[in-house]
Structure 1
Amino acid sequence: MSSDRVRYDRATAHLDAPLAVVDLGAFDANAADLVRRARGKPVRVASKSVRCRALLERVLARDGFAGVMGYTLEESLWLARSGVPDVLLAYPSADRAGFAELTSDPKLARAVTVMVDDPAQLAVVDAARAGREEVRVCLEFDVSLRLLGGRVRVGALRSPLHVPERLAELARAVARRPGFRLVGLMAYEAHVAGVGDAVGGRPVHSGAVRLMQSVARSRLEALRAEAVAAVRDVAELEFVNGGGTGSVQHTAAEDVVTEVAAGSGLYVPRLFDHYSSFRGRPAALFALPVVRRPGVGVVTVLGGGYPASGAAGRDRLPAPYLPAGLRLAPREGAGEVQTPLLGQAADDLLIGDKVWFRHAKAGELCERFAALHLVDGERVVETAPTYRGEGRTFL
């Protein structure tokens, strides 16, 4: 870790902090590991976890990656206009202007697939139509773990479709409706892919998560297979998508799954330190400058209040990474304008020195910075705009 700090400091010596970097060596190693864990099935890269077109292009140029998973219709159309030929919008949309554009442009209609889990979403598309282009549709199936006859539910609150029969009903509704074509099925196991099972200092919690995930995985394969069979009775499917960074190897092992999704595993933010099944290399970091030395064992850096989305808690805060041995002040946390840091390592820092941090999540870091400085060894080899740097703030 100390050698990484030397590299990053040397690479960015000509740049003032705050700034953000992506270590290309770590990024590429993480990409290779995702492909290895996918066992020959293509990895669809989740754009919300990258939010930088240059890095999306870099990973899509690698063998083993195919297609983008977008997070808003506006973003999906933007990516398709810029040349991405296959964008799966992973969340339903109510963007009327976007649907008007999609239904009137053959190139966009070929490239973008929209997500549906309710007939009312189809009505939104029809009400916004400005052309006759056929809309490609993917259905989302809920694979949350349900116990005690459904009275206990573990998983993200996403699609209302959790039994194959209801999924088939919606598939038939899509098939009957002019102007739509059912092409895909997505079933995302958030309780497996997005929950760490090896949280330091919490052995009981980690053991409970491992038990839950073991039970969930034992049921997932059969449930997903039933869902796919139900939909294929209605329409031929081009793809069946599942998984996420934390479950790539398990999801890819299922016969009915044709592709897996991943994105956070490229940057490896803090929340992905807590998995027993894989180890990634932190690739995305941000640096803040030391601007005060209030006393022994304390420095203050400029900025830092970049919490991640999700249920509020300390695990959603960024954490000082390099130099090792620094920690947030318990009563202040990561501040809006300044952040005090405690620890013996503070006494070796001077005004103007950089402290390197890791964000709790992946792509959300890019909403705070206009550019990512791409580091190869001890050099910045490219400065790439983030979505924000291109003037795009989709959410």
Structure 2
Amino acid sequence: MDDRQRYDRATAHLDPPFAVLDLPALHANAEAMARRAGGKPIRVASKSVRSRAVLERILAMDGFTGIMAFTLPEALWLVSTGMRDVLVAYPTVDRAALAELAAGPVAAREITIMVDHSEHLDLIESAVSGVRDRHEIRLCLDVDAGYLAFGGRFRAGVRRSPVREVDQAADLATEIAKRPGFRLVGLMAYEAQIAGVGDDAPGNPALMRAVRLMQARSRRELITRRGRIVQAVRQITDLEFVNGGGTGSIEKTTRERAVTEIAAGSGFFHPRLFDFYRGFTGRPAALFALPVVRRPAPGVVTVLGGGYPASGAPGENRLPQPYLPCGLRYDADEGAGEVQTPLIGQAAEDLRAGDRVWFRHAKAGELCERFASLHLIDGDEVVDEVPTYRGEGRTFL
């Protein structure tokens, strides 16, 4: 029985649209990620999962410890439900959430927030100034891991922290140490140009060679710079963790002695954008089904909804992939529509009203912002239904 038959049989009692999570695929992906990490723990990036029940499943597996959240309100909520060791991966300016963090003994113990500038320290101090019995706030220093070449005229990687060099990191760590109520416990440097950029995409071999060359040079530069930064900061404070990497770089980042844990999230669901890496393969685990609602012309079917583009630089690769049955593609003049999406191709000839078309989202957790639940499939059965963040009434971004 192929995957389409399995999914259709398992969900025959459901009316699409809906989303599913293939449990054997999820477990296989997680086990492969843990093997790639070579014994170093993987901190689970919640933005790529966005379901509390699924996060709990992953954290129960060997090799995974702690959560990397994307907002402080999310982290506060997760901790209130019993989760522990939550790193907020991006700076926060949410004053109410900061005050709640400082006032809560459990939250203050279990949550670490991100800083990269003294302005963050000033804002936090202002936000918590009225808190009685304020608890010490745990901080993580975010370091820019982008790659610069040709005197800075070329850059690869996301624009994150202004802290890039050893002296900048040491200066900020020193300032944190002088301010009461703060404790620097971690350091993070995310190499997006390696972890989030596929090196084996089809269609342009010359470009892929250039990507691989850039990534190799970036790795060499970052191993040295990150190591020196960590060494300098450890002379100022005891670091509990040094976080680096992502799904696309696990087996590379884990080799660095300075890095104590890897961050990863997309690999669990293995969305479309992660098909194009030479170093690993995964199994599509998260999908959504849309119903065929009409056949406007020979070789054309229309499904309900489908306009679920992923974040990032706009382009065709940000659209969901018509996955099953094979052989469907978008109409270039319409793309993925807000309310309806026409699909063309030979496979359309065999589809009738009420049939399902299965899609893969371009990215991982963003799929869960469209659906209130995930139907968990094992074999050809739905064995459970669990809420997404949206299904629990939580929309953090």
User: Which of the five TM-score ranges fits, normalised by the shorter chain?
Assistant: over 0.9
SS of residue paired to 2:186: strand
Partner of 1:320: 322
Q: CA deviation at 1:151?
A: 2.8
Partner of 2:152: 150
Structure 1 residue identity aligned to 2:92: S
SS of residue paired to 1:291: strand
Q: CA deviation at 1:201?
A: 1.3
Q: CA deviation at 1:149?
A: 2.5
Q: CA deviation at 1:190?
A: 0.4
Partner of 1:226: 228
Q: Give me the whole-angstrom Cα distance separating, in 2, the residues matched to 1:373 and 1:122.
A: 43
Partner of 2:24: 25
Residues 63-82 of structure 1 aligned to structure 2 (within 5 Å):
63-82=62-81
Question: What is the TM-score of this pair, normalised by structure 2?
Answer: 0.98
SS of residue paired to 2:279: coil
Q: CA deviation at 1:156?
A: 0.4
1:281 aligns with 2:283: yes
Partner of 1:252: 254
Partner of 2:352: 350
SS of residue paired to 2:382: strand
SS of residue paired to 2:54: helix
Partner of 1:216: 218
User: Aligned residue pairs: how many?
Assistant: 394
Q: Give me the whole-angstrom Cα distance separating, in 2, the residues matched to 1:74 and 1:169.
A: 29
Q: CA deviation at 1:208?
A: 1.0
Partner of 2:125: 126
Partner of 1:238: 240
Structure 1 residue identity aligned to 2:260: T
Structure 2 residue identity aligned to 1:109: A
Structure 1: gaps (5+ residues): none
SS of residue paired to 1:83: coil
Structure 2 residue identity aligned to 1:378: D
SS of residue paired to 1:48: helix
Q: CA deviation at 1:94?
A: 0.3
Structure 2 residue identity aligned to 1:265: G
User: Between the two proteins, what is the percent identity of the paired residues?
Assistant: 63
Q: Give me the whole-angstrom Cα distance separating, in 1, the residues matched to 2:362 and 2:380.
A: 25
Partner of 1:88: 87
Q: Give me the whole-angstrom Cα distance separating, in 2, the residues matched to 1:127 and 1:104.
A: 14
SS of residue paired to 1:205: helix
Find runs of 4+ consecutive structure 1 residues off by over 3 angstroms. none
Contact 1:195 1:246 in 2 (8 A): yes
Q: Give me the whole-angstrom Cα distance separating, in 2, the residues matched to 1:282 and 1:382.
A: 19
SS of residue paired to 2:199: coil
**Alpha-carbon displacement from aligned partner over 1:185-210 (angstroms, at most 9, x marks no partner):** 00100000000111111212111111
Partner of 2:38: 39
Structure 2: gaps (5+ residues): none
Partner of 1:3: 2
SS of residue paired to 1:280: coil
Match of 2:307 among 301, 305, 308: 305
**Alpha-carbon displacement from aligned partner over 1:133-159 (angstroms, at most 9, x marks no partner):** 000000001111111222322110000
Q: Give me the whole-angstrom Cα distance separating, in 2, the residues matched to 1:101 and 1:331.
A: 49
Contact 1:321 1:356 in 2 (8 A): yes
Contact 1:324 1:345 in 2 (8 A): yes
Partner of 2:57: 58
Partner of 2:292: 290
Q: CA deviation at 1:265?
A: 0.2
Structure 1 residue identity aligned to 2:247: T
SS of residue paired to 1:372: strand
Contact 1:319 1:328 in 2 (8 A): no
**Alpha-carbon displacement from aligned partner over 1:323-369 (angstroms, at most 9, x marks no partner):** 00000111100001000000010011110000000000000000000
Structure 2 residue identity aligned to 1:336: E
Partner of 1:100: 99
Structure 1 residue identity aligned to 2:63: G
Q: CA deviation at 1:5?
A: 0.3
SS of residue paired to 1:21: strand
Question: What is the TM-score of this pair, normalised by structure 1?
Answer: 0.99
Structure 2 residue identity aligned to 1:194: G
SS of residue paired to 1:103: helix
